[in-house]
C-alpha cells in the first residue's frame, strides 16, 4: 500500500532533517587565517589542507601592518586563529604587539631549524628567501665581488641599485650586518654604500634587477624569488631582462648569504587552536614545502626537501644562520642607522 504525504507531513519531515543537521553545521571544523601573502601564493595549499582534513579555511589577505593593526584592534573578539606574514621584522612586530601565543608542537621543532623559529615559540618559519647580489656578466667580473660590506668599495661608485630604507628586506639585511660587524662599522659602511647608488632608490626588487639588465646599474641586491618569477614570466620583456643578470652568493667564506623567512603564528585569542596547529604542521609537510619551492621559487625551511629546477640552477650556497629573532630585535637600530647614513 502506497503511503501518501500531505503538506503538513512533508513540512514536519523536512524540519526533522534540517534539525538533525544543525549540530553538524554548528560544529563544523574551521580555521581563520589573516595573511599578508597574496591569495595565489597560499590558497592552493589551504585548499589541499581542507580537502585532506575536512577543515574549512577562511582566508583574509592584506597589508601586513594593516592586518596587525586589525588584530590589535579586534583584541579578544578577533576571528583570526593564525597570522601569516613575511620577514623577521614583521614577525617581531607581531610578537611585540602581543598578538601571538606559543606554538607548542614537537613536530614543528623537529622539522624547522632553531634559527628559523621564534626563540619563545611565538611563530615558526614556513619558507626562506635569500637576498644575494645580482650582477651584469657583461660589465662585472664576479671575481670583483665578495660580500655585502665590499659593496661600499669605490669601484662600485654609481653602479648599485637597491630599494629604499623603508623596505623591510633591506632593514633586516642591515640588522644582520649590525650583529656581525657592530653598529659603528655598519653605519660607516652604510654611509659609503649610499655614495655608490646609481640612482635614488625607487621601485621593488624586480626594478632593481631590471636596472642591471637595462644598464642603469651594474649590480643590485634583491630577493631570489622575484628573480625566479621573472625568469619564468609570461612577459617576454621581463623574462629577457632576467636572463641578462646572474646571481652572486656573497660572504661564502664568512657568515654566508643573508636569508629571511615567511612565518606564521597562532593568535593570542584563537578559537580554533587545534585546527590552527594542524594547518601549520601541514604547511611544513614535505609536500607543501616542495610546492612552495616550485610555485614561488622560495627555499624550503624544512631540510631535506628537494629544490625546484629553477632553484637548483642557481647552485648551492652557504646561508647565514643568524637567528631571525636578532633581525627583529635589531630592526629599530637598523632603521635609525640607515636614516643617518642618508639611505632614503
Nearest to 124 by CA among 157, 99, 155, 100: 100
Residue pair 223/147 in contact by the 8 Å Cβ criterion: no
69 contact partners, CB below 8 Å, separation of at least 6: none
Nearest to 331 by CA among 144, 71, 91, 45: 91
Lookup: cell for 9 = 507531513
189 contact partners, CB below 8 Å, separation of at least 6: 149, 152, 177, 181
Lookup: cell for 178 = 649590525
Nearest to 42 by CA among 56, 69, 67, 61: 61
Sheet holding 160-161, edge to edge: 160-161, 219-221, 133-135, 246-248
- Is 225 known to sit in a ligand binding site? yes
Q: Which residues of 246-259 are buried (b: 16+ CB within 10 A; e: fewer)?
A: bbbbbbeeebbbbb
User: What SS3 state is found at 134?
Assistant: strand
Using alpha carbons only, what angle is made at residue 177 by residues 289 and 119, rounded to the nearest 5 degrees?
50
- Is 135 known to sit in a ligand binding site? no
96 contact partners, CB below 8 Å, separation of at least 6: none
Nearest to 319 by CA among 295, 339, 299: 299
Half-sphere exposure of 337 (CA within 13 A, CB side): 26
Cα of 33 vs its chain's centroid, Å: 15
Q: Which residues are annotated as a binding site?
A: 225-226
Q: Which residues are annotated as a binding site for Fe cation?
A: 225-226
Amino acid at each position: 500500500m502506497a503511503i501518501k504525504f500531505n503538506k503538513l507531513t512533508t513540512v514536519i519531515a523536512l524540519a526533522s532533517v534540517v534539525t538533525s543537521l544543525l549540530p553538524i553545521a554548528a560544529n563544523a571544523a574551521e580555521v581563520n587565517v589573516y595573511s599578508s601573502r597574496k591569495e595565489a601564493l597560499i590558497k592552493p595549499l589551504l585548499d589541499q589542507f581542507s580537502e585532506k582534513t575536512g577543515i574549512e579555511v577562511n582566508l583574509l589577505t592584506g597589508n601586513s601592518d594593516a592586518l596587525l593593526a586589525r588584530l590589535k584592534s579586534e583584541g579578544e573578539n578577533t576571528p583570526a586563529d593564525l597570522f601569516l606574514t613575511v620577514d623577521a621584522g614583521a614577525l617581531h612586530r607581531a610578537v611585540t604587539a602581543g598578538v601571538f601565543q606559543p606554538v607548542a608542537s614537537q613536530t614543528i621543532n623537529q622539522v624547522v631549524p632553531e634559527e628559523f623559529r621564534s626563540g619563545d615559540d611565538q611563530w615558526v618559519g614556513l619558507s626562506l628567501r635569500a637576498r644575494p647580489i645580482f650582477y651584469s656578466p657583461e660589465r662585472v667580473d664576479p671575481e670583483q665581488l665578495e660580500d655585502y660590506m665590499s659593496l661600499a668599495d669605490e669601484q662600485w661608485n654609481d653602479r648599485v641599485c637597491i630599494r629604499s630604507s623603508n623596505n623591510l628586506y633591506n632593514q633586516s639585511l642591515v640588522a644582520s650586518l649590525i650583529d656581525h660587524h657592530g653598529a659603528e662599522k655598519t653605519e660607516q659602511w652604510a654611509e659609503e654604500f649610499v655614495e655608490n647608488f646609481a640612482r635614488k632608490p625607487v621601485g621593488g626588487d624586480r626594478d632593481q634587477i631590471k636596472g642591471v639588465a637595462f644598464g642603469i646599474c651594474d649590480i643590485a641586491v634583491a630577493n631570489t624569488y622575484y628573480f625566479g618569477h621573472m625568469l619564468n614570466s609570461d612577459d617576454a620583456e621581463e623574462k629577457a631582462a632576467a636572463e641578462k643578470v646572474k646571481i652572486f652568493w656573497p660572504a661564502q667564506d664568512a657568515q654566508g648569504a643573508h636569508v629571511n623567512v615567511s612565518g606564521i603564528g597562532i593568535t593570542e585569542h584563537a578559537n580554533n587552536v587545534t585546527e590552527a596547529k594542524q594547518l601549520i604542521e601541514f604547511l611544513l609537510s614535505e609536500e607543501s614545502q616542495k610546492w612552495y619551492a616550485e610555485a614561488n621559487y622560495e627555499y624550503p625551511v624544512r631540510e631535506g626537501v628537494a629544490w625546484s629546477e629553477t632553484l637548483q640552477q642557481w647552485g648551492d650556497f652557504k646561508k647565514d644562520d643568524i637567528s631571525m629573532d636578532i633581525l627583529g630585535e635589531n630592526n629599530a637600530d637598523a632603521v635609525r642607522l640607515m636614516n643617518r647614513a642618508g639611505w632614503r
